[in-house]
Amino acid sequence: MRISNFLGVPALLFLLPAFAQDQMPAVGGMTDRPMPVADTRQIIPLTAAETAMVMAEMRQMLASVQGITDGLSRNDMKSVAEAASSSGPSMMMGLPAQIRMKFPEQFKQMGMATHKVFEQIAREASMKDPGPVLEQLSSAMQNCIACHATYRFAPPD
Ligand code: HEC
């Protein structure tokens, strides 16, 4: 017992700095920055003009999310419904067919599912019950997260 304690303490002291060193990144002087992570998202090739159209719709969806939460915070269900209805399915259907045909099937499905949730929020909001609205908003935002993690746009080569 006595001997193993006696040997154990210095051994531990010797190991500590080695352990601490393992935590350091290999690149010197960059400890405050995250290491670059490989971008494994699938590329959907769109021209700059096409991307601009889709991005405008994305920003509109973000504005709808804000409008919905703002309306909920003021218990103003009319503005919740208004904010939601501007991101309904007509948004995606309004995109030129030449853009929509470039979307992979799964992208189209996730996009349409998201627009349909906004449509549903517009309907639920008129029932004056915030509970289901928050639930729907959360499920719409799971689509935002899933799609953003899977795809990105880039100009065709
Ligand atoms: C079907 C796929 C899909 C869904 C669903 C989706 N997005 Fe996006 N979104 C994208 C892609 C792809 C980009 C571009 C990412 C890139 O190229 O780096 C993007 C970009 C954006 C941007 C950046 C716009 C800009 O001008 O740079 C915003 C904001 C955004 N999305 C908001 C949302 C919100 C909010 C939701 C959910 C309510 C949502 N998106 C749902 C695919 C999606």
Sheet strands (E) in 6-155: 42-45, 151-154
Q: Is the pTM of this model over 0.85?
A: no
Domain annotation covers residue 19: no
**148 Cα–ligand 1 center, Å:** 6
Nearest alpha carbon to residue 102 among 40, 151, 61? 151
Task: Report the number of distinct structural domains present in the chain.
Answer: 1
58-111 per-position pLDDT tens digit:
999 999 999 999 999 999 999 999 999 999 999 988 899 999 999 999 999 999
Domain annotation covers residue 30: no
102-133 per-position pLDDT tens digit:
999 999 999 999 999 999 999 987 777 888 89
Question: Hey, whose CA ends up nearest to atom 22 of ligand 1?
Answer: 58
Q: Whole-angstrom distance between the N-terminal and C-terminal Cα of the chain?
A: 70
Domain annotation covers residue 90: yes
Question: Containing domain of residue 59, as a range?
Answer: 43-152
Domain annotation covers residue 8: no
**146 Cα–ligand 1 center, Å:** 10
Sign of CA dihedral 51, 54, 60, 64: negative
3-53 per-position pLDDT tens digit:
444 444 444 444 444 444 444 444 555 566 677 789 999 999 999 999 999
Asked if residue 149 has its Cβ within 6 Å of ligand 1, the reply is no
Nearest alpha carbon to residue 130 among 64, 79, 91, 63? 79
Domain annotation covers residue 10: no
Which CATH number do you get for residue 53? 1.20.120
**90 Cα–ligand 1 center, Å:** 17
Q: Which two tokens stand for residue 88?
A: 């309904």
Asked if residue 54 has its Cβ within 6 Å of ligand 1, the reply is no
Nearest alpha carbon to residue 58 among 147, 124, 138, 127? 147
Asked if residue 140 has its Cβ within 6 Å of ligand 1, the reply is yes
| Maximum separation of any 2 CA atoms in the chain, in Å | 81
